[in-house]
Amino acid sequence: MGLPFSTRNDALTEQLSPFVVTTRDNRGALDPEPFGLPTRWFIDPTRRDSGAFLDLLQRLDALTFGPEGMPMDKWVFYDCAELPGFIYGFALPAEELSQAERDLFGCGAGYTGPVPFSMYVAIPMFESGAWFGHNLASLNATFPHRQLGGLGSVTKAIALKAFGVQTFFGATQWLSKALFIHTKFGPLDITTAYTPAHSIPETLTYGFTVTDVSLRSACGDPTVSLERPDPTVHLDGADSEAMMKIQADIEGGGAYQMVGAPSFQGGRSIHRLARRAD
């Protein structure tokens, strides 16, 4: 069963089925059929028999980001998402994987449960309806033969619907390819442009108000469109000095939005920003 609206890759929700990792107590706060898409698997992290699947989630993280990324220990999954909130994603039954795919995941011959191909990790914040995005993983690039284009975007969008997110916040690096996904949700309000509190100071903190239109847009629904302001600032994704100047302006009361995906000019990643009028 797919989504009730068309996307640029409807085969995603026809090929893969949703799973959610959450506790029994938290499950009642989840929409089990976001946009009418029923969740097939519910994984309770407090049960011993969930261990094999949760190991596969960590393997998914490693396959997505590799040794150059910021891999998560299992305790981070548990402490930051599985216990306080949810992990949402798409999976296939193990028997539908090829032997090469099973080997890459390290699936034992006796494992017959779901194998995750994507996941979205978000953390509930103090403000009601506000969530912080923690991790987005997808095997689109790992398994090109499955034609999973757009899987990361669809996973994040449907997860935000399932979690009932009203206000979203996230943090990522200016040179991260993930910004091509995050900007699909519309203009992003920038809270920080340079973030020494993060392990990587060249990190931006961003947010947006979640609407069904923004989620459908991110899924690739061609019938919806989002208004975006014209850019007034162009930021080189490697220019730390410029980031610090924008950060100083923000701390002084200035307001900025990222109005679209970065572009590549002369081998550099250029971001289009709009400074709002005071």
Banded model confidence at residue 70, pLDDT cuts 50, 70, 90:
low
In the predicted model, what is the mean pLDDT of the chain?
Answer: 91
Residue 48: the pLDDT is 95
% of the chain residues with pLDDT over 70: 96
With 0-12 CB in 10 A as exposed, 13-18 as middle and 19+ as buried, what is 241?
Answer: exposed
**Range of lowest pLDDT (75-79, 87-91, 162-166):** 75-79
b/e per residue, 209-220, with b = 16+ CB within 10 A? ebeeebbbbbbb
Banded model confidence at residue 278, pLDDT cuts 50, 70, 90:
low
**CA distances from residue 59 to 52, 63, 81, 168 in whole angstroms, order as listed:** 11, 6, 17, 26
Residue 1: the pLDDT is 59
Residue spans of the domains in the chain: they are 1-164, 166-278
Question: Which amino acid is located at 243 in the chain?
Answer: M
Average pLDDT over residues 16-28: 95
The candidate with the shortest Cα–Cα distance to 165, out of 131, 199, 193, is: 131
Q: What is the pLDDT of residues 149-203, one digit of tens each?
A: 889 999 999 999 999 999 999 999 999 988 999 999 999 999 999 999 999 999 9
Distance between CA 157 and CA 273 in Å, rounded? 23
Highest mean pLDDT among 60-69, 123-132, 242-251: 242-251
